[in-house]
Amino acid sequence: MPARRVVVTGIGAISALGRNAAEFWQALFEGRPGIGPLQAVPPGALRFPNGAEVRGYSPTGYFREKETDFLDRFAQFAVVAAREAVRDAQIEWTGELRGQTAIVTGSCLGGKSTEDQGYFDLYANKRNRVNPLSIPRSMENAGASRISMEFGITGPAYTISTACASSTHAVGQAFWLVRQGAAELAVTGGSEAPFSLGHLKAWEAMRVVSPDTCRPFSKDRRGMILGEGGAMLVLEPLEAARARGARIYAEILGLGMSSDAHHITQPSVEGPVRAMAAALADGGLEPEQIGYINAHGTGTLANDSTEASAIRRLFGAHAGRLAVSSTKSMHGHALGAAGALEAIATVLALHHGLLPPTANFTEPDPQCDLDVVPNAARRAEVECALSNSFAFGGLNGVLAFRRCG
């Protein structure tokens, strides 16, 4: 069977920028960050005071009370985003379609809050037992499983955990399943809820979180800002989407993956270069066709300069004509959800012909010598775009998209 063209026909997002994809996009094009004082932990408990939390979220607004007992916050975000994406795509379910639909989700951490509470009960509260729902709540595939049950989806379903590249790898795998005919539809993305004290203490000890805000590519950048949320996309073959008259946001063209084989936390130039090159090759693209890159852009000293070098090395002179922005400056680094949130940002940038900015930008860094779309969105009819994710552990994923219509 010849490879099929695959398009994005549904999106859903819950993040610090709002509880649906429309609010997400509104904040992105206004360049308005969702970063503020952390509410999930007591003030002063951490060296870093800020995060990008989902505000105004009440589980019972989305789930029956009994259901919330079974779902950690991260799995709830997966389901909330999936519902929106499926509704947005206006899927009409049949038994056959349910059997041919894949679910591929990404999560770096799973249910850390659930685990944290269990350990707190054991070690601090001196209880001798933990909640029997701890295992099903905290497993990384909890979101994928709940999505399958909610929609009665019975096709291939699994979860990928590759740290900050989890949901980029997930969306890419789902794309490949649809392209090769192993699935007729895919619900794919990722979710994360890292704001539990035990886990945040580990980030504090790593000394990579900014004491104020996230300023990717700025000379005075001081680190990342953690974020949370969920983002899901509906993928299907172009022909099927056209046949049912679906709205097409963008075509997904390629997935590139690589491993640095270098260092457990330090980024490399070579690994990202190979991942971006592989995404171009997978999509049959020339570097000059790319007009925008949604960068990994964490806002750490090491990542941003290394990523800029990788882009310079792969694209050569064309790097000077590329727009590169990091939307982590607004939705924070949502770890296993980051790739899917950024895939949606990229898809919407192509769809609307409007590039989201790098917010909080203050001062150019000669080591990040790129057009980073500072602070204000820009109108640009870009043909193709990449979305980069480079994980701790040196595992890289890059998605390539093309504008439709």
CA distances from 105 to 174, 192, 209, 233, 234 (A): 9, 11, 26, 10, 12
Taking the complex as a whole, the smallest distance from the CB of residue 194 to another protein amounts, in Å, to 15
**Contact status: 39 vs another protein (CB under 8 A):** no
Q: For residue 229, what are the β-bridge partners?
A: 15, 192
Q: For another protein, which is the closer residue by CB, 44 or 245?
A: 44
In this structure, is the dihedral angle defined by the CA atoms of residues 191, 185, 401 and 281, taken in order, positive or negative? positive
Taking the complex as a whole, the smallest distance from the CB of residue 140 to another protein amounts, in Å, to 22
Q: Give, in degrees to the nearest 5, the angle at Cα 302 between 301 and 308.
A: 95
Taking the complex as a whole, the smallest distance from the CB of residue 38 to another protein amounts, in Å, to 12
**4 secondary structure, DSSP code:** P
Q: For another protein, which is the closer residue by CB, 42 or 405?
A: 42
Q: How far apart are CA 346 and CA 340, in angstroms?
A: 10
Q: If residue 136 lies in a helix (H) or strand (E), which one and from where to where?
A: helix 134-138
Q: How far apart are CA 90 and CA 246, in angstroms?
A: 8
- What the block records as the tokens of 230 is 């969920």
351 tagged catalytic: no
Q: For another protein, which is the closer residue by CB, 195 or 401?
A: 195
**Contact status: 122 vs another protein (CB under 8 A):** no
**Contact status: 124 vs another protein (CB under 8 A):** yes
The region of 94-102, 117-125, 170-178, 337-345 touching another protein under the rule CB under 8 A is: 117-125
Options 93, 180, 302, 353; binder of another protein; rule CB under 8 A? 302
CA distances from 178 to 33, 239, 339 (A): 34, 12, 19
**Contact status: 211 vs another protein (CB under 8 A):** yes
**Contact status: 261 vs another protein (CB under 8 A):** no
The region of 42-50, 173-181, 333-341, 362-370 touching another protein under the rule CB under 8 A is: 42-50
Q: Hey, how many other C-beta atoms are within 10 angstroms of the C-beta on 355?
A: 27
Torsion angle of C-alpha atoms 114, 118, 119, 121, degrees rounded to 10: 140
Say if residues 400 and 345 touch (Cβ distance below 8 Å). no
**Contact status: 304 vs another protein (CB under 8 A):** no
Taking the complex as a whole, the smallest distance from the CB of residue 124 to another protein amounts, in Å, to 8
404 tagged catalytic: no
Say if residues 120 and 181 touch (Cβ distance below 8 Å). no
Taking the complex as a whole, the smallest distance from the CB of residue 162 to another protein amounts, in Å, to 19
Options 4, 36, 41, 63; binder of another protein; rule CB under 8 A? 41
**Contact status: 127 vs another protein (CB under 8 A):** no
Instruction: Kindly state the number of chain residues that form the binding site for another protein, as judged by CB under 8 A.
Output: 20
Taking the complex as a whole, the smallest distance from the CB of residue 233 to another protein amounts, in Å, to 34
Q: Which amino acid is residue 370, in one-letter code?
A: L
Options 1, 92, 95, 205; binder of another protein; rule CB under 8 A? 205
Say if residues 355 and 376 touch (Cβ distance below 8 Å). no
**Contact status: 244 vs another protein (CB under 8 A):** no
The region of 22-30, 44-52, 270-278, 315-323 touching another protein under the rule CB under 8 A is: 44-52
**Contact status: 317 vs another protein (CB under 8 A):** no
CA distances from 27 to 31, 310, 327, 345, 364 (A): 6, 29, 10, 11, 23
Options 55, 127, 207, 321; binder of another protein; rule CB under 8 A? 207
The region of 36-44, 71-79, 273-281, 336-344 touching another protein under the rule CB under 8 A is: 36-44
331 tagged catalytic: no
Say if residues 203 and 209 touch (Cβ distance below 8 Å). yes
What residues make contact with another protein under the rule CB under 8 A?
41-42, 44-45, 47, 116-117, 120, 124, 196-197, 205-207, 211, 263-266, 302
Q: Which residues are catalytic?
A: 164, 296, 333
